[in-house]
Chains A and B, each alone.
Chain A
Amino acid sequence: MEQLEQHANPQSWYLVLSTILFSIGVMGVLFRRNAIIILMCIELMLNSVNLLLVSFSAYSGNSDGQVFVFFIMVVAAAEVAVGLALLVSIYRNVASTDIDVLSKLKW
């Protein structure tokens, strides 16, 4: 325990940090109307979760969490590629990335 205190910060710090980051991401998603920035905020949320996972993995001495993070990155990369492609094709059609404009998908 003493060693831990000497060598490293308490893990709860990482918890608080990633929680705040996540909340900022959520707020950004709600706050902005530009779809690209919403995508970026989603990346932000993903990263806060990644950070949390890595911290748990590191503090518990088990690599599984880091493998999860690896897979999350893979998924995030694929998601961004497809998401941006979608955005491009939407922009070609309606000349806007404002999600308030993109509200035809209903009922």
Chain B
Amino acid sequence: MDNYSELINLMRPAMLIPLFPLLGFLIIAFFGKSLKHFSGWIACLSILASFFCSLYLFINLSSNQKLDFTVFEWIRWGDINLSFGLLVDPLTIVMLLVITGIGFLIHVYSIGYMHTDEGFSRFFSYLNLFIFFMLILVMGNSYLIMFIGWEGVGLCSYLLIGFWFKNQAFNNAAKKAFIMNRIGDLGFLIGMFFMLHYFGGLDYNLVFSAAQSHPKGSTLLVTITLLLFIGAMGKSAQIPLYTWLPDAMAGPTPVSALIHAATMVTAGIYMICRSGVLFALAPQTLEVVLIVGVATSLFAAIIGLKQNDIKKVLAYSTVSQLGLMFVALGLGAFSSGMFHVVTHAFFKALLFLGAGSVIHAMGGEQDIRNMGGLKKYIKITYITFIIGTLAISGIFPFAGFFSKDEILAASFAEYKLVWILMSFSSMLTAFYMFRLYFLTFSNNFRGTQDQQHHLHESPATMTIPLIVLAFLSVIGGLLGLPVVMSHTHLFSQYLEPVFEVSKNIIGAQHNLAHRTEWVLMGVATLAAIASVFVAYNLYISKKILPEPDADVKGFTKWVANKFYVDEFYNKVFVRPVMVMSDIFFVLIDKLFIDLFVNAVAWIVGFTGRTMRLVQTGNTRFYIFAMVIGIIILLYCQLVHPFLNVYFN
């Protein structure tokens, strides 16, 4: 009973968490014009308030408890009762802390970054709206609520990618992201319909308990999980729906950091973790997830090697890292996947914000071939950026090392081939990240005189978040020290109650001997250092510069042009649709619909033109017509008494 009332007391802060950003959004959306630059601080405050509420929940809710309550009844129809409810358990809390914590830092950063932008208030209203939807996504207690957030963040992503809507290319990128996401969303939606039909509801509790009555690997469960995974593919940019993410870099850099690196794109991973029970019951789907994850991770890493836009490199590395997370999920190591989500959020946000700071210093220049030697000019950005690079490359003892190592160890235990491929992908990551770093910060400045003159360190609102994130990237690994280093793995222990059921279903995992784990760590570190060395050799010692776009040849050209996937999609999917719509336009629209509509319009027009002649303007004629009408009416009533029925 005590326990119960304690949980009741936690309901209010839980409900407040999404409400603060919503309030911030409404205030800024309606009064943004008059608030001017004050709106940035309002946005920050609302996120900070949510962060403290999340922290309160984190402290007061022990890891084996969960808060699951209905806020209001929503749709009641037959036996199906869809209510708006919230669920707070360790998994949610982890996401909440990441979203509000990193979200707050990025908000603060944006104040500095967007300072001179004319859409300052608009930017913050979108950002707050995004946080609101993201919180709804992770806090919902049913797939329906998650879907609301899912669509909402998609919308905000669209709005923010196309934030500078005067540039048509940016608008196209926004549309691309939106449409690609819709393909995934359709999968999610159909999956929901399946659940509604076969399980009779969408609440997690209901769905999971109903699913467990089906045999493991049954067609129904595989179908549902595959459909859900299609949704995850779209949102988390996996092959084949990944091409929108690199284009999404058209948005302002804080958006790239918040939405397209740290939070929204991990929604797919969150969704699969949340539906761990379903996926555990469908091992075939897990294999698909694994394959897609491996393929995406490698593919994106290879493309990342030859990108010259600072944000594009980071975008492909994000795709690659998301692939790595899916590998973890595919192996059934849900908590490892989540752990990588958290550490990745730290260092990728850091890298993006660092890149933003670089772009800020360079006055909008994004091509790394025109940078170089920046470490002299922007010290803080430089130091934090190198920390982020070390973290993502998986070098001990930075955050990325631990989370990556966990996934690699899991893959080694299950499939050796996956381990080899993922290790290779990690090496590539280390290589292109250091390539990026060397080209940007080392050697001499390659930009114009003007740019060199303009170089300056960003304001404190931008550097402080960088420092905080750098700090987190360094110590983030301590959250999940592997068992070989300390006696408990804090992170997976915290999440254990959430994944207990799915773990039992999957069955015992292979456990590696401690010695093997040490070896694996050593190998991973060595591989990373080796690729760093290669990068150093190429870009510092030999001072090789990536050639201009025109001079690229052969396989490199393929890579630099992202294997022509966009062009392929254009030819195979976009063009046929365009051609088809052209045909339909001519055949159906022009011939049939227009004919019909025009005919109706013509008939109406003709009748009007004809009847117009009755209006002569002669008053006597009108009166005469009226009298005749009265006479006819009365006459009819006299002759046909049955009309009396209507008259009486």
A26 close to chain B: CB less than 8 A: yes
Q: Are A30 and B619 in contact (CB under 8 A)?
A: no
Instruction: Give the docked Cα–Cα distance between A49 and B627 (Å).
Output: 16
Within 8 A of A (CB), among B567-622: 612, 615-620
Q: Chain A, 70-107, contact with B by CB distance < 8 Å: what is the 0/1 string?
A: 00000000000000000000000000000110111111
Q: Interface 1/0s, chain A 7-28, versus B by CB < 8 A?
A: 0000000000000000000100
Q: Assess the A30–B623 pair: CB atoms within 8 A.
A: yes
A12-65 residues at the B interface, CB under 8 angstroms: 26, 29-30, 33
Chain A residues within 8 Å of B620, by CB: 30, 33, 99-100
Contact B623–A103 (Cβ < 8 Å)? no
Q: Please state if A29 and B623 are interface contacts (CB–CB under 8 Å).
A: yes
Name the interface residues of B616-646: CB closer than 8 Å to any CB of A: 616-620, 623-624, 627
Closest-CB distance, B515 to chain A (whole angstroms): 99
A103 close to B617 (CB less than 8 A): yes
Contact in complex: A104, B617 (CB < 8 Å) = yes
Given A30-B624, A30-B627, are A106 and B619 also a contact pair (CB < 8 Å)? no
Query: A103 contacts B618, CB within 8 Å?
Result: yes
Residue of A nearest to B619 (CB): A99
Q: Which residues of B contact A105 (CB under 8 A)?
A: 617
Q: How far is the CA of A103 from the CA of B623 in the complex (A)?
A: 13
Chain B residues near A26 (CB, 8 Å)? Answer: 627
A100 / chain B contacts, CB cutoff of 8 Å? 618, 620
Taking a contact as CB atoms under 8 Å apart, the answer to whether A106 and B616 are in contact is yes
Contact assessment for B615 and A106 in the assembled complex, using a CB-CB cutoff below 8 Å? yes
Within 8 A of A (CB), among B380-415: none
Known: A100-B620, A102-B619. A107 touches B627 (CB 8 A): no
Interface contact A107-B618, CB-CB below 8 Å: no
List chain A residues, Cβ under 8 A from B618: 99-100, 103
Chain B residues within 8 Å of A104, by CB: 617
Name B's interface SS.
helix
The residues of A that contact B623 with a CB separation of less than 8 Å are 29-30
Q: How far is B624's CA from A99's CA once the two chains are assembled, in angstroms?
A: 13
Which residues on B sit within 8 Å (CB–CB) of A99? 618-620
Residues of A contacting B612 in the complex (Cβ-Cβ under 8 angstroms): 107
The residue on A at minimum CB distance from B612 is A107
What residues on B are CB-neighbors of A107 within 8 Å?
A: 612, 615, 617
CA distance A106 to B622 in the complex (A): 11
Query: Do the beta carbons of A103 and B627 come within 8 Å of each other?
Result: no
Which residues of the partner chain A approach B627 to less than 8 Å between Cβ atoms?
Answer: 26, 30
Q: How far is the CA of A102 from the CA of B615 in the complex (A)?
A: 13
Closest to A99 in B: B619
Tell me the bound Cα distance from A46 to B283 in angstroms.
Answer: 91
- Interface flags, B106-148, vs A, CB<8A=1, else 0: 0000000000000000000000000000000000000000000
- Bound CA–CA A11/B615 (angstroms): 42
Q: How far is the CA of A104 from the CA of B615 in the complex (A)?
A: 11
A102 to B617, alpha carbons, bound, how many Å? 8
- Residues on B with beta carbons closer than 8 Å to the beta carbon of A33: 620
With both beta carbons as reference points, the residue of chain B lying nearest to A102 in the complex is identified as B619
With a cutoff of 8 Å between Cβ atoms, the chain A residues found around residue B617 in the complex are: 103-107
Q: Report the bound CA distance from A106 to B614 in whole Å.
A: 9
Q: Closest CB-CB distance, A8 to chain B, in whole Å? A: 29
Shortest Cβ distance from residue A36 to the other chain B in the assembled complex, whole angstroms: 14
Give every chain A residue within 8 A of B615 (Cβ-Cβ): 106-107
> Closest approach, in angstroms, between the C-beta of B606 and any C-beta of chain A?
16
Chain B residue contacts of A30, Cβ below 8 A: 620, 623-624, 627
CA A19 to CA B624, docked complex, whole Å:
18
Residue pair B624, A103 in contact (C-beta under 8 Å): no
Q: Which residue of B lies closest to A105 (CB)?
A: B617
| B198-220 to A contact mask, C-beta < 8 Å, 1/0 | 00000000000000000000000
How long is the Cα–Cα vector from A30 to B612 in the complex, in angstroms? 22
**A23 (CB) vs chain B CBs: closest residue:** B627
CB proximity to A under 8 Å, residues B471-488? none
Complex contacts, A29 vs chain B, CB 8 Å: 623
A69 smallest CB distance to B (angstroms): 22
Measured CB to CB, the closest approach of chain B to A42, in angstroms, equals 10
- Report the bound CA distance from A99 to B619 in whole Å: 7
Q: Find chain B residues with CB under 8 A from A106 CB.
A: 615-617
Minimum CB distance partner of B613 in chain A: A107
Smallest CB separation, B477 vs chain A (Å)? 84
Query: What residues on A are CB-neighbors of B616 within 8 Å?
Result: 103, 106
Interchain nearest-CB distance for B476 vs A (Å): 79
Question: Closest residue to B616 on the A side, CB-wise?
Answer: A106
Cα distance, A35 to B462, chains bound together (Å): 84
Cα A7 to Cα B615 with chains together (Å): 53
Q: Nearest-CB distance from A2 to chain B (Å)? A: 33
Q: Could you say which residues of chain B place their CB within 8 Å of the CB of A103?
A: 616-619
**Which residue of A is nearest B624, CB measured?**
A30
Bound complex: CA A106 to CA B612 (Å): 9
Min CB distance, B102 to chain A, in Å? 69
Chosen A-B contacts, 16 in total, with CB atoms closer than 8 Å, are A29-B623, A30-B620, A30-B623, A33-B620, A99-B618, A99-B620, A100-B618, A100-B620, A103-B616, A103-B617, A104-B617, A106-B615, A106-B616, A106-B617, A107-B612, A107-B615
Sample of 7 further A-B pairs with CB below 8 A, known A26-B627, A99-B619: A30-B620, A30-B627, A99-B620, A102-B619, A103-B616, A106-B615, A107-B612
Closest 8 CB pairs of A and B: A106-B617, A103-B617, A99-B619, A103-B618, A106-B615, A105-B617, A107-B612, A29-B623
